C-alpha cells in the first residue's frame, strides 16, 4: 500500500486529503461524512491532524488506523512535538507501526497556551526535526538511544513528511527551513495553502535550490502544494490577518467581499487548482472537514 503511495508522490499525480478528528469518543461520524461526500475515489491518501491549535480532539493515530482500515488507502498520521517527549514519541511510533501506519507528518505543534484544557503545558523536547531523526533511527533498526530492535521485530519502514510556510517576506528564511527538512530525511514537504500561481512557482524554485544546497547526496524529497479552497470572505480575511506564513492576495479578498462569495470562491479555487495541477500535480487538500467541497473540486476535472 505505502510503496505505491510513495511511488505516486515521486513519479506522478498525487493528491491527499486532510481529515481533522473531532472532539468525540469515536470517529464514526467523520468516516461516514467521508463516505457520503464521494471524494474518496479521487484521492490517493489521507492525513489526520493532531489536536490542531492545542484543542482536544480524537487521537490522530487511532483515527489514522480506522480511516486506513475502512478505505484501504494510506493515511499520514500527524505527530506533534508539543504533547510528547522522546519516550512517548517512540512508543506511539511502534504502536502505530504495528497497526499498519507507516507515514508520519512531523510537526512542532501550536503553543499549548491556546489550549482549551486548563493550565496545559507543552513538552517541546525539540522541534519537528527531532521526530524526523527518530524516524530515521527506526528505519535503521535502532531506537533514538541507539539500541537495536529485537531480531525480526524491527518496525516496518516509516515514511516521514514535514510542513513549511507557503510565504515569507524573506525567501531565505523559507530556503533555510526547506534545506533543514530535506537534510533530516523528509520525503515530502507540504506547504501551507497557496493562493497564486506565481507563489507556487517561487516555492518550486526555492525547493530546487534547497535540494542543490543541502548537505546530502541525491535528496529523496518532493514538494507538495497545500490547497485550501476559499468560499467565504471571513475565512480569507482570517487567514490573511491572523495566520503567519500564508499570503492571500488582495484579488481574493476583493472578489469574495464584493460578489456571491461561495460561487466566486469556488470558481477561483477550481481555477487555481487546475493551474497547480498543471504546474506540479502533487497537492494536499485541506477543507476543515468540508469534504463535499473537495469532491466538487475533484469531480469537475
The Cα–Cα gap between 280 and 290 comes to: 24
Q: Using 50, 70 and 90 to split pLDDT, how confident is the model at 196?
A: very high
Distance of CA 84 to the CA centre of its chain: 19
Per-residue pLDDT reduced to its tens digit, 271-297: 999 999 999 999 999 999 999 999 999
Residue from 80, 222, 103 nearest 159 by CA: 103
Encode pLDDT of 73-110 as tens digits: 999 999 999 999 999 999 999 999 999 999 999 999 99
Domains of the chain: 2-299 (3.20.20.220)
Angle at 186 between CA 200 and CA 243, to 5 degrees: 50
What does the pLDDT look like over 246-271, one tens digit per residue? 999 999 999 999 879 999 999 999 99
Q: What tens digit of pLDDT does each residue of 202-213 get?
A: 999 999 999 999
Q: Where does the pLDDT of residue 300 fall: very low under 50, low under 70, confident under 90, or very high at 90 and above?
A: confident
Contact of 110 with 53, CB cutoff 8 Å = yes
Mean of pLDDT values over 160-187:
96
Q: Is 111 left (phi over 0), alpha (psi -120 to 50) or beta?
A: beta
What's the CA gap between 11 and 208, in Å, rounded?
16
Confidence at residue 16, expressed as pLDDT on a 0 to 100 scale = 98
Rounded Cα distance between 150 and 142, Å, is 9
Residue 218's pLDDT is what? 77
Average pLDDT of the residues in 37-48: 98
Amino acid at each position: 500500500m505505502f510503496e505505491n503511495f510513495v511511488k505516486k508522490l515521486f513519479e506522478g499525480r498525487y493528491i491527499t486529503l486532510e481529515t481533522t478528528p473531532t472532539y468525540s469518543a469515536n470517529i464514526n461520524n467523520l468516516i461516514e461524512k467521508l463516505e457520503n461526500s464521494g471524494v474518496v475515489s479521487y484521492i490517493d491518501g489521507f492525513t489526520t491532524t493532531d489536536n490542531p491549535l492545542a484543542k482536544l480532539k480524537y487521537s490522530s493515530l487511532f483515527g489514522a488506523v480506522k480511516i486506513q482500515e475502512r478505505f484501504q488507502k494510506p493515511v499520514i498520521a500527524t505527530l506533534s512535538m508539543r504533547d510528547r517527549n522522546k519516550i512517548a514519541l517512540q512508543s506511539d511510533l511502534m504502536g502505530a507501526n504495528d497497526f499498519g501506519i507507516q507515514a508520519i507528518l512531523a510537526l512542532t505543534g501550536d503553543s499549548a497556551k491556546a489550549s482549551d484544557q486548563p493550565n496545559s503545558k507543552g513538552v517541546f523536547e525539540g522541534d519537528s526535526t527531532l521526530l524526523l531523526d527518530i524516524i530515521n533511527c527506526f528505519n535503521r533498526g535502532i531506537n533514538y538511544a541507539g539500541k537495536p530492535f529485537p531480531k525480526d521485530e524491527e518496525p516496518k519502514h516509516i515514511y516521514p513528511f514535514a510542513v513549511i510556510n507557503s510565504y515569507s517576506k524573506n525567501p531565505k528564511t523559507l530556503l533555510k527551513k526547506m534545506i533543514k527538512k530535506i537534510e533530516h530525511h523528509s520525503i515530502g514537504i507540504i506547504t501551507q495553502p497557496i493562493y497564486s500561481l506565481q507563489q507556487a512557482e517561487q516555492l518550486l524554485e526555492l525547493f530546487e535550490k534547497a535540494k542543490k544546497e543541502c548537505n546530502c547526496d541525491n535528496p529523496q524529497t518532493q514538494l507538495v502544494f497545500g490547497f485550501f479552497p476559499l468560499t467565504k470572505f471571513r475565512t480569507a480575511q482570517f487567514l490573511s490577518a491572523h495566520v503567519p506564513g500564508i499570503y492571500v492576495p488582495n484579488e481574493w479578498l476583493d472578489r469574495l467581499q464584493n460578489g456571491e462569495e461561495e460561487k466566486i470562491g469556488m470558481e477561483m479555487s477550481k481555477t487555481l487548482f487546475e493551474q497547480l495541477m498543471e504546474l506540479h500535480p502533487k497537492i494536499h487538500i485541506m477543507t476543515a472537514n468540508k469534504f463535499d467541497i473537495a469532491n466538487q473540486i475533484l469531480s469537475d476535472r
